[in-house]
């Protein structure tokens, strides 16, 4: 089991035009830790997650994932794709292919690994052929999220909570060391939201995967996260245990300034 930090972020800055959205953001995440990002709408939560997965290029600062620094410079050798394979993403809108089966959706999470094996494998997946080894990994992930009886069901026939479980299984099929989830429960009712957050917690502990979740509900963050990252106007105003969150800190997180 890996110890130490899966992600280290140092002095990250990101602007869009004249608006500086991330202002000197620094934090470290241990393997197996679950982090909740809290902040007002527009605080920079999504931008931070997008920087971590390489969808946005920071203006300056450092991101180290699994002890490897991400190279942002377009002119230098780019290791972004290698790093990206270590990070799975779970979306608010699930981002699944509704007319296909749970298994097919989860197998998509295997593509970065399969494509790496060469053009023949890549063509195979295009025609729906997936190596048995990858099918087994995908099935295991489906069992892990509690959908063992739905492997061949169409995603469109599943409830919202079940669809989000498929999204989690697809991210797990990448065999990541970090899972990022951007408001993964905003489209779910309270009971289902808690089930999904409970599943994240279980995965982080059982599989030693770090999970970073942006959340709008303070109560959920307190109940399910090991640490809270409070972002206000692009700045980290709190990083620590939910136990130490007091009224003053909560006010700071949810203030505009």
Ligand X SMILES: Nc1ncnc2c1ncn2[C@@H]1O[C@H](COP(=O)(O)OP(=O)(O)OP(=O)(O)O)[C@@H](O)[C@H]1O
Is there binding between residue 212 and ligand X (CB under 6 A)? no
Angstrom distance (rounded) from CA 173 to CA 166: 10
- The length of the chain in residues reads 257
Is there binding between residue 39 and ligand X (CB under 6 A)? yes
Span near ligand X by CB under 6 A; candidates 45-53, 109-117, 130-138, 192-200: 45-53
DSSP E strand stretches across 176-223:
178-182, 210-214
Which of 6, 32, 38, 45 binds ligand X (CB under 6 A)? It is 45
Measured from the CB atom, the residue of 36 and 109 that comes closer to ligand X is 36
> Quick one: which of 245, 188, 234, 193 has its CA closest to 40?
234
Which of 7, 9, 12, 21 binds ligand X (CB under 6 A)? It is 21
Is there binding between residue 232 and ligand X (CB under 6 A)? no
CB of 92 to ligand X, least distance (A): 9
Measured from the CB atom, the residue of 16 and 127 that comes closer to ligand X is 16
Span near ligand X by CB under 6 A; candidates 34-42, 111-119, 129-137, 161-169: 34-42
Measured from the CB atom, the residue of 47 and 162 that comes closer to ligand X is 47
Is there binding between residue 42 and ligand X (CB under 6 A)? yes
Q: What angle separates helix 190-207 from helix 160-173, to the nearest 10 degrees?
A: 20
Angstrom distance (rounded) from CA 120 to CA 222: 48
> Quick one: which of 55, 170, 156 has its CA closest to 108?
170
> Quick one: which of 12, 112, 157, 145 has its CA closest to 70?
12
Angstrom distance (rounded) from CA 239 to CA 27: 8
End-to-end CA distance of the chain: 41
Is there binding between residue 16 and ligand X (CB under 6 A)? yes
Measured from the CB atom, the residue of 145 and 236 that comes closer to ligand X is 236
Is there binding between residue 256 and ligand X (CB under 6 A)? no
Is there binding between residue 36 and ligand X (CB under 6 A)? no
Span near ligand X by CB under 6 A; candidates 40-48, 66-74, 128-136, 149-157: 40-48
Q: Which two tokens stand for residue 84?
A: 């990206």
Which of 9, 35, 38, 43 binds ligand X (CB under 6 A)? It is 43
Angstrom distance (rounded) from CA 203 to CA 144: 8
Give me Rg for the CA atoms of the chain. Answer: 18
Is there binding between residue 41 and ligand X (CB under 6 A)? yes
Binding site for ligand X (CB under 6 A): 16, 21, 39, 41-47
């Amino acid at each position: 089991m890996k110890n130490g930090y899966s992600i280290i972020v140092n002095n990250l800055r990101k602007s869009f035009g004249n608006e500086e959205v991330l202002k000197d953001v620094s934090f470290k995440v241990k393997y197996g830790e679950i982090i909740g990002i809290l902040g007002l709408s527009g605080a920079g939560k999504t931008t931070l997650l997008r920087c971590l997965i390489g969808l946005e290029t920071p203006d300056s600062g450092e991101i180290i994932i699994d002890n490897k620094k991400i190279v942002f410079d377009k002119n230098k050798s780019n290791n972004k794709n290698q790093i990206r394979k270590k990070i799975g993403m779970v979306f608010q809108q699930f981002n699944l292919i509704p007319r296909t089966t749970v298994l097919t959706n989860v197998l998509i999470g295997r593509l970065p690994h399969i494509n790496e094996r060469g053009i023949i494998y890549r063509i195979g997946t295009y025609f729906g052929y997936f190596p048995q080894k990858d099918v087994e990994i995908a099935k295991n992930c489906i069992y892990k999220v509690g959908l063992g009886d739905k492997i061949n069901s169409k995603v469109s026939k599943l409830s919202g909570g079940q669809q989000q479980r498929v999204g989690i299984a697809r991210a797990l099929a990448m065999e990541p060391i970090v899972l990022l989830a951007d408001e993964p429960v905003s489209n779910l009712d309270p009971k289902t939201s808690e089930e999904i957050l409970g599943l994240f917690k279980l995965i982080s502990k059982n599989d030693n995967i770090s999970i970073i979740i942006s959340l709008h509900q303070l109560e959920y963050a307190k109940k399910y996260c090991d640490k809270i990252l409070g972002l206000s106007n692009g700045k980290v105003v709190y990083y620590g245990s939910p136990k130490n969150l007091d009224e003053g800190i909560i006010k700071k997180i949810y203030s505009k300034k």
